[in-house]
Structure formats: C-alpha cells, structure tokens
C-alpha cells in the first residue's frame, strides 16, 4: 500500500476554516486525497468546500472514521491539537507547523507513543503517495506515481529531487518530509523499515542535513537490515559550527552532526552520496542497473 | 538563546539552586570595590558565550584587591575564540573538595530531556565513563512523568559522597545533591531550557554543594512564554533586521550573496558554490512564496555588509508559480539599487515561463540561468571577475602613486 497513506486513508484537516487550512484542504483534494472532515472549535456544522466541519476531533472521527489528521494550527496551539487527535484515536498525525517549543514536542511524542499514534513533522511538508493521497502541503504537480521511496528533512530539497526524478520518468511510492526540528515524529529509521517492508517500493532516496545523528543511525540500519538499494544526499557542508541554518534542527553542535561525518557514515554503509540534488537521479539509475545486472 | 554565566546563575538562584555571591562588572574600576564587598579570595570570570575561557586566561583567582583589579583590566576587552569580553563576574571563592558534572539537555535521540551526571567534573566525561562506568549516570527523563526518585538516587549513588558528611547547617551532603538535581529539572522544565549544564558542580570542604558555573540555553520557540527573559542582546544588527523581516539569516565569510526559498535548498546551494570554487557570504532562507517584499528585505540585509561581489537567487517553485516569482523579482530589481551582478535560478512550477518573463525584462546586470548547476558556475565566475577587477584597480592605483 505504499507506506503510511494511500487511497483508503480518510483525512481530517484541523483548522480547516483558517486561510492555510482551507487552501491546503482544497489542494489535498485536488491531489486525489479523501478529505472526510475538518475541525475548528466553535464552527461545527459549517461546510468548507463540501467538507463537513466539526467542533472537535473526537466528533469528526465518530462521524467520519477519519484516520489521518493534518494540522494547520499556530505553534502555540499545536501541542493541544496533536494531543486531541491522538486521544480521538487518529492513527497518523501530520504537523506542518514551524516554531513549536521543544518541551511541547517532547510531551507530544511521548503521549502519541503511548496512544499508538504516529507523527510526521513538525516543521515539514507532510507526506504524499502520488495520485492517491497527500497529507500536508507538498506540491502534487511535481510528483509521479512509481516505486522510489523518499524521506527527507528538508521540504524544498525534497521537491528539487522529486522534480528531477519525475522529469527522468522515475515515479515515487511515498515521499515523507520528516521535518526540520530536532524533536520530531517518524525519522529516517522508521521510514526505512516501512519502505523495506513495502511491496511497492523498490529503492529509497534519503535526504539529510547537518545536526543530530539520524543519518548515522539510518546508515547502520541499511547496512544491517536493508535489502533494497538506498542513495543519499546531504546538505550543509559549508555550515559553520553553532549556527542554526534555518531549520531548528540544522546545527553543528561542537564538532558533531557535520555533513562530512554523515556522508562518511553513509558511504561506509555502502550508500552512495550525491554531490548535488541533480546527481541523485544518475546515482540511483546506476544502483538500479548494477542490481539488475547481478 | 544562549545565556551568559551570570544570566544563567541569576535564574539558578531564582530556582533555589545554590550559587555563590557575585557581582557583574563592565569596567575594571568596579573590580576592587566588588571584591572587597565579597571578601577574598575572589574569582574574576570573563562572560562569553564560548567554552575554553579558563585555558584562554579568562578566569583568575585573586587573593587581594590589587590582583582583582589587574585581573579585571586584563580580562575585560580580551578576545576569547573571537568573542570580545564585555563583562566579567567577580565571585566569592570556594574551597573545593571535589568537582562533579550535572546537566539536563534536549536529546534528539531520546526525543526529550536527558539527565547526565558524572562523579568527576571539568573533564572529558566520556573518558571517565570508560575508566569507571559507575561514575556516570545517563538517564532520559520522561517528559510526562518528570524526574523520578530512583533517578535522583542513581545520581547520589554515583557521586559517592561520604554518607556522614554534613553541611555547616547540619544537612547531609548527599541530600543536598539530590535537592540540586530536583531543582535543576524543575528549572529546565519551567524555563523551557534545552540545555542546563553545571560544570563544575562543586562539593566544598564544608560539604556544601555549589553550582560554580552555568551554561543555559533557552528554547527560542518558547520565548513567547518566557517573557521576562527579553531578547538576545548578542545578536548583531543584520541578524536582528533579518529576524524582524521573517528571514532565516546567517552571515558567512565569503563573497557570494545567496538567497533562496527553503533552508535545505540554500544549504545545498552554498555547498555547490564551494564545490565550484566559490564561497558564500551568507545563508538566507526567504521561506515559501518568494514574495517581492521579502526578497527586497533579504537583498537589503545581504548587501548592507558590503562583502558580496555577486548574488545568487535560487528559487524552486512548489506551489508558487515561477512566473509570479519572476514578476516579483522584476519589481524588486527594477527599483532596488543593486550594484553587484545577479544570477537567478528558477526551477519547478512554471519554471520555463518564469525564465522567459525575466529574460524579456532584460534587467541590467541580471542573468537568468537555465539550471542550478549553471547558475552556480555563473555566479562563481562573476564574483571572481569582480574580485580580479578590484585587485587590478588597486594595482593600477599603486602605479599612479
């Protein structure tokens, strides 16, 4: 079923009566998504673009069986919105919001883990299974349905690489933007495990950046457990230590979390690392051909 | 937001954590009266947001007034790893029996706070742990449950403090340490810290437990609810301007101005410039939409330093159409006073239409690149040509003299 979302996903938009919520709800539907409900406290009973609005997530889930929630909620209310979705039994919570305090995210991830809900984000574009479901803000037009899984810490770099893939006629199974915050939901590891198990995914592109050790842990996993080919791209070789490069999580701490370190770890695990976004496609082709010729 | 030692200690004191009496000085003349009031010996400590100040001579223990005055005169104004010392903390002395390490920090791996304690402080705690694993406690704190009693007991056990040791006030030293751990967690949680480090945490000869240093980072995303903390005073003028305009901006050392729509995209562009033999003057993420007024603000911030010899604008249109972006760029570059060559790269949604709109406008000094790779090549060449011309001009001027 690709991973995480497909045509059977029933999507709920939290904050659907806001400008962003309404805009992206429309775009998600245009991308083939089954948007079944929206929420906005105090605005239950309204209809936005044919989508019924509820006062609470619990009410929306009861009436529509929504299983995926996408939040368009300001940073200071995001914690509560994510907790509300998890408590209402939503399977997958997608948070696009940037600027959520680390304390809130620590509490949210701990609570969602106990509830058994998954989280994608925050501070990312969400995820998309091209042609079937978009849960977030990815520009569906640059995507093409196919068999490459892609997971990334950066929104625009995702679009760049996907654009190259699509122009080369290489489609994607599911593309996940895990977000640029240091504390986030699903990471490389959790996505790689799902791609490995997914019949529709034949190979994976991993896009990392400076900060933390997610790429290193992904490399170890690929080395030990993964049978499908993986290629990578890493951004931030020129980042000075101690400076946040746009994303809250993109920071070299002391001497750890550098791009060079990540590249070395990936290459040591047999994962080729592209030198520019445009080089991902030829690198992936090479890997797939080598595999075929074996 | 990183706090200076004295700022962190002021918050520690509010949270009931034990700190020594101290006074902040910004002028060497203030050292002597401050030291006399505190009583000798005192420590004079440089207030900078960087490590290694002890090795750099930024901390001096002084036995009398003359020494304190001399230390303050040396330390104020000195430069430690590129940070100028604007203030020093004069702090009463302590008789140190033992130095320990205690910190709580936000751990990506554990997706929440991590408590770290080491029996020995002021040293490489990993090395201590290799030698004697029982000296180290590293335990994630559940963000919903908070610090548990067993975790406090683990720290106290690892510290190995004599169970009979009591403070002059008659309190067991082990109990004092436990209280410090609990108070540090409460502080970390309530203050939205992402780092609260005490290195060293000191056991004195009188069996008191004291925070001899503080290293505190407050989560920028939570400043809205930590309203008494104010802004980051160390921020430079351009960084402040950029932040107010909603830009993510980091000044760099090179001569090619860079702006783009997305943090990853801009980081990647900077890397490609370096690969092509150039060097970026900044990191500037204008975010989604690439609206004209945001681009104008970015130009203002980037060019005001006067270090950029060329400028690369790299836009990937996702939801935003590149032809709309192009019209915005024409509006900006048609009116702004941009004296350096500009290369524009547009890709993604309606990229071709966008490039055509820009090409038709034929703006002076603005080149439209057909690809990201070509854009990088062009801007590196433009910066180099400009640098060569400047060097040539200087040489010619020299001859004229």
Indicate whether B290 and B197 sit together in one domain. no
CATH of the domain at B327: 3.40.50.261
C-alpha A271 chain-centroid distance: 21
Q: Is residue B244 part of a domain?
A: yes
The domain in which residue B345 lies consists of 237-395
Q: Are residues B44 and B100 in the same domain?
A: no
When pLDDT is averaged across residues B383-392 and rounded to a whole number, the result is: 89
Give me the residues of B, 16-75, that contact A with CB < 8 A: none
Tell how strand B83-84 and strand B79-80 pair up: antiparallel
B253 and B382 share a domain?
A: yes
Phi, psi (deg, nearest 5) at residue B372: -65, -40
Is the domain of B268 the same as that of B210? no
Q: Do A156 and B260 touch (CB under 8 A)?
A: yes
**DSSP percent split of chain A into helix, strand, coil, nearest 5:** 40, 20, 40
- Mark whether B2 and B25 lie in a shared domain: no
Residue contact A155–B252, C-beta within 8 A: no
Q: What is the ipTM of this complex?
A: 0.92
Instruction: Give the CATH number, domain containing residue B126.
Output: 3.30.470.20
Q: Are residues B29 and B13 in the same domain?
A: no
User: Is A153's Cβ below 8 Å from some Cβ in B?
Assistant: yes
Q: Measured between CB atoms, does A152 come within 8 Å of chain B?
A: yes
Burial class of residue B389 in the structure, from the number of CB atoms within 10 Å of its CB (0-12 exposed, 13-18 middle, 19+ buried): exposed
Q: Tell me if B181 sits within 8 A of B158, measured CB to CB.
A: no
B163 part of a folded domain: yes
Q: Judge whether B101 counts as a catalytic residue.
A: yes
Is B187 among the domain residues?
Answer: yes
Mean pLDDT of chain B: 92
**Do both B258 and B385 map to the same domain?**
yes
Question: pLDDT per position in chain A (294 positions), as tens?
Answer: 699 999 999 999 999 999 999 999 999 999 999 999 999 999 999 999 999 999 999 999 999 999 999 999 999 999 999 999 999 999 999 999 999 999 999 999 999 999 999 999 999 999 999 999 999 999 999 999 999 999 999 999 999 999 999 999 999 999 999 999 999 999 999 999 999 999 999 999 999 999 999 999 999 999 999 999 999 999 999 999 888 898 988 988 877 899 999 999 999 999 999 999 999 999 999 998 887 776
Contact status, residue B184 vs residue B195, Cβ threshold 8 Å: no
Q: In sequence order, which ranges of B96-230 are alpha helices (DSSP H)?
A: 125-131, 149-159, 173-190
User: Is the CB of residue B376 less than 8 Å from the CB of residue B344?
Assistant: no
**How many structural domains comprise chain B?**
3
Look at residues A177, A267, A272, A257 and name the one whose alpha carbon lies nearest to residue A214. A257
Please check whether residue B283 touches A, CB under 8 A.
yes
Q: How far is B31 from chain A (nearest CA, A)?
A: 32
b/e code B158-180 from CB counts within 10 Å (16+ = b) = bbebeeebbeeeeebbbebbbbb
CATH assignment at residue B56: 3.30.1490.20
Indicate the residue of A214, A235, A249 with minimum beta-carbon distance to B267.
A235
Q: Which positions 112-131 of A are in contact with B (Cβ < 8 Å)?
A: none
Q: How far is A23 from chain B (nearest CA, A)?
A: 11
On chain B, the residues whose CB falls within 8 A of the CB of A141 are 349
Q: Residue B245: is its pLDDT beyond 90? A: no
Burial class (CB in 10 A: 0-12, 13-18, 19+), A84: buried
Q: Are A215 and A188 in contact (CB under 8 A)?
A: yes
A56 touches chain B (CB under 8 A): no
Find the closest chain A residue to B226 by CA distance: A101
Do B109 and B52 sit in the same domain of this protein?
Answer: no
- Are both B163 and B266 inside the same structural domain? no
Pick the residue from chain B with its C-alpha nearest to A114: B144
Q: Which of B47, B69, B93 is the last residue of a domain?
A: B93
Identify any residues that bridge with A136 across adjacent strands, giving them in sequence order.
A126
- The catalytically annotated residue of B101, B176, B208, B324 is B101
- In terms of Cα–Cα distance, which of A209, A262, A205 is closest to A232? A205
Could you tell me how far CA B178 lies from the centroid of its own chain?
31
Whether B250 contacts chain A with CB within 8 A: yes
Decide if B275 touches A, using CB distance below 8 A. yes
Going by their DSSP bridges, the two strands B310-317 and B342-348 should be labelled as: parallel
Specify whether B331 is located in the same domain as B354: yes
Q: What is the pLDDT of residue B324?
A: 87
Which chain A residue is nearest to residue B372, measuring alpha carbons? A278
Within-domain flag for B153:
yes
In a domain? residue B263: yes
* Chain A residues with beta carbon closer than 8 angstroms to that of B224: 76
Query: Which of B263, B275, B371 is opposite residue A245, by nearest beta carbon?
Result: B263
Q: Is residue B400 part of a domain?
A: no
Residue A268 to residue A272: CA distance in whole angstroms: 9
- Report the relative pairing of strands A203-209 and A230-235 from DSSP bridges: parallel
Does residue B385 lie within any of the structural domains? Answer: yes
Residues B250 and B263 in one domain: yes
Q: Which of B75, B93, B111 is the last residue of a domain?
A: B93
Chain A residues with CB-CB distance to B285 below 8 A: 246
CB atoms within 10 A of CB B244: 10
Together in a domain, B134 and B86 = no
Q: Give the separation between CA A147 and CA A171, rounded to whole angstroms.
A: 6
Which of A246, A258, A259, A263 would best serve as a mutation to test chain B binding (most B beta carbons within 10 A)? A246
**Domains of chain A with bracketed CATH:** 11-120 (3.40.50.720), 143-293 (3.40.50.261)
Domain end, chosen from B178, B204, B234, is at: B234
Domain for residue B177, yes or no? Answer: yes
**Cis peptide bond prior to A122, omega within 30° of 0:** yes
């Amino acid at each position: 079923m690709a991973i995480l979302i497909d045509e059977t996903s029933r999507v709920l938009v939290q904050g659907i009566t806001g400008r962003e919520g309404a805009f992206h709800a429309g775009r998600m539907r245009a991308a083939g998504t089954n948007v079944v409900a929206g929420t906005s406290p105090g605005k239950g009973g309204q209809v936005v673009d044919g989508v019924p609005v509820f006062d609470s997530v619990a009410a929306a889930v009861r009436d529509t069986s929504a299983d995926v929630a996408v939040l368009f909620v300001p940073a200071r209310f995001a914690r509560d919105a994510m907790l509300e979705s998890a408590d209402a039994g939503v399977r997958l919570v997608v948070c696009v919001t940037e600027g959520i305090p680390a304390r809130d995210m620590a509490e949210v991830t701990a609570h969602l883990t106990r509830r058994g809900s998954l989280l994608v984000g925050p501070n990312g574009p969400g995820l998309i299974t091209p042609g079937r479901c978009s849960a977030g803000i990815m520009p569906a037009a640059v995507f093409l349905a196919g068999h490459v899984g892609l997971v990334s810490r950066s929104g625009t770099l995702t679009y760049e690489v996907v654009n190259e893939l699509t122009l080369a006629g290489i489609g994607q199974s599911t593309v996940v933007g895990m977000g640029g915050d240091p504390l986030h939901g699903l990471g490389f590891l959790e996505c790689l495990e799902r791609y490995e198990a997914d019949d529709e995914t034949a190979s994976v592109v991993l896009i990392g950046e400076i900060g933390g050790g997610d790429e290193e842990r992904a490399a170890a996993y690929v080395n030990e457990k993964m049978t499908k080919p993986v290629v990578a791209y890493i951004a931030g070789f020129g980042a000075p230590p101690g400076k946040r490069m746009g994303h809250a999580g993109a920071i070299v701490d002391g001497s750890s979390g550098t791009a060079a370190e990540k590249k070395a770890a990936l290459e040591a695990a047999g994962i080729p690392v592209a030198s520019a976004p445009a080089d991902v496609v030829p690198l992936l082709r090479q890997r797939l051909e080598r595999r075929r010729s074996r | 937001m990183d706090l200076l030692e004295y700022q962190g200690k002021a918050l520690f004191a509010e949270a009931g954590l034990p700190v020594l009496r101290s006074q902040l000085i910004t002028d060497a003349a203030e050292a002597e009266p401050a030291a006399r009031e505190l009583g000798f010996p005192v420590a004079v400590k440089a207030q900078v947001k960087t490590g290694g100040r002890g090795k750099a001579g930024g901390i001096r223990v002084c036995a009398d007034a003359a020494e304190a005055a001399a230390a303050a005169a040396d330390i104020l104004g000195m430069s430690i790893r590129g940070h100028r010392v604007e203030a020093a903390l004069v702090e009463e002395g302590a008789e140190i029996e033992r130095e320990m390490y205690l910190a709580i920090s936000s751990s990506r791996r554990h997706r929440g706070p991590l408590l770290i304690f080491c029996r020995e402080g002021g040293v490489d705690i990993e090395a201590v742990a290799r030698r004697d694993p029982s000296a180290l406690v590293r335990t994630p704190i559940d963000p919903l449950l908070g610090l548990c009693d067993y975790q406090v007991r683990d720290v106290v056990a690892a510290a190995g403090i004599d169970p009979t040791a009591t403070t002059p006030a008659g309190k067991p030293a082990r109990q004092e340490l436990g209280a410090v751990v609990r108070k540090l967690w409460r502080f970390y949680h309530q203050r939205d810290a992402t780092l609260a480090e005490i290195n060293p945490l000191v056991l004195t000869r009188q069996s008191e437990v004291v925070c001899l240093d503080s290293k505190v980072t407050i989560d920028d995303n939570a400043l809205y609810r930590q309203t008494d903390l104010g802004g980051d005073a160390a921020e430079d003028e351009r960084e402040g301007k950029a932040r107010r305009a909603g830009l993510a901006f980091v000044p760099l050392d090179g001569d090619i101005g860079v702006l783009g729509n997305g943090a990853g995209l801009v980081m990647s562009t900077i890397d490609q410039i370096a690969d092509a033999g150039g060097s970026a003057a900044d990191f500037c993420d204008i975010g989604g939409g690439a609206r004209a007024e945001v681009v104008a603000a970015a130009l203002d911030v980037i060019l005001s330093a006067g270090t950029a010899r060329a400028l690369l604008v790299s836009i990937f249109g996702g939801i935003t159409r590149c032809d709309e972006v192009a019209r915005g760029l024409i509006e900006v570059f048609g009116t702004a006073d941009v004296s350096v060559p500009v290369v524009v790269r547009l890709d993604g949604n309606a990229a071709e239409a966008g490039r055509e709109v820009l090409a038709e406008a034929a703006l002076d000094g603005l080149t439209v690149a057909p690809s990201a790779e070509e854009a990088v090549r062009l801007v590196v060449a433009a910066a180099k040509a400009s640098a060569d011309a400047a060097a040539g001009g200087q040489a010619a001027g020299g001859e004229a003299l």
